[in-house]
Amino acid sequence: MIIDVHTHINNYHEDRVVSLDDCLNKLTDTMLENNVDYSLVLSSYKVNEHRPSTKQVVEAISDRDNLGVVAGISYLNYTHRDLKEISDFLEAGLIKGLKFYPGYEPFYPNDIRFKVVYDMAIEFDVPVMFHSGDTYAPTGKVKYSHPLHIDDLAVDYPDLKIVICHVGNPWIKDCMEVVYKNKNVHADISGLVLGDFSDKFERYMKTEIEEMITYAGDPKYLLYGTDWPISNMKSYLKFMDQLELPQEKKELILWKNAAELFKIDVTKL
Ligand SMILES: [Zn+2]
């Protein structure tokens, strides 16, 4: 069983418009090729012809059992209608979590402006995911996406279930301390490369992830994710394969932790 907690259906090649259904088909075809049973699709913090809204994604995946939606939330642009829509989706069980993009947008995770949204996540018991570490675009501001800022949030909201995306890369040691210290914090390993791992980078990341597990203990907090289509699924599974971990710990990372955290019914897969 494999659950990918971090995929996108944004079109990153903006010279042409690709339909939402084509993007979804490409995702499910790639999952099939790589024996991935379930993926979470994270919507963006902005909506345009290359980035569908949460509502569009929710509607487009409604007949696909192997996909779930995590709703992207914008710090700069939200209205009471957006909050109402998110709350309705949560109440109807149509979204599995919320995603925030510090670094891409200028805010720290513990910003009071998001208290209302975090309270919603606690009420409906869904995790909140944070972009963390390096930004794909050089226009991002990485002081906001440093994983250390998650500690404030984790301490102030002990009932909030938090995911640090990309293990805070390159600040993986900081991420490992925040995960070790706070029971309510998880991390996903997505987006560590653009495309495929080179041999050298794979060896480097192998050491980093294994050190994290040595320090923070049994990987009950670690989640498999790719950031597809930015990172390649096949290359990611090869990366998982060469980690020196017993099979039962790999299974925690590959699907068990995710199924529990996001309440994914694996009996239906
Ligand atoms: Zn991502």
Tens digit of each residue's pLDDT (9 = 90 or more) over 77-133: 999 999 999 999 999 999 999 999 999 999 999 999 999 999 999 999 999 999 999
Q: How far is the CA of 50 from the centre of ligand 1 (A)?
A: 15
Surrounding residues of ion ligand 1, Cβ less than 5 A: 227
240 membership: H or E segment, kind and range: helix 233-241
**How many Cα atoms occupy the beta-carbon half-sphere of 210 within 13 Å?**
14
Q: How far is the CA of 142 from the centre of ligand 1 (A)?
A: 15
With beta carbons less than 8 A apart as the criterion, state whether 65 and 37 touch: no
With beta carbons less than 8 A apart as the criterion, state whether 35 and 69 touch: no
pLDDT at 15 over 80: no
Q: How far is the CA of 85 from the centre of ligand 1 (A)?
A: 22
Tens digit of each residue's pLDDT (9 = 90 or more) over 150-207: 999 999 999 999 999 999 999 999 999 999 999 999 999 999 999 999 999 999 999 9
The pTM (predicted TM-score) of the whole model is 0.96
Residue 268 has a pLDDT of: 87
pLDDT at 14 over 80: no
Which among 201, 141, 135, 138 has a CA at the least distance from the CA of 168? 135
Hey, how many other C-beta atoms are within 10 angstroms of the C-beta on 140?
17
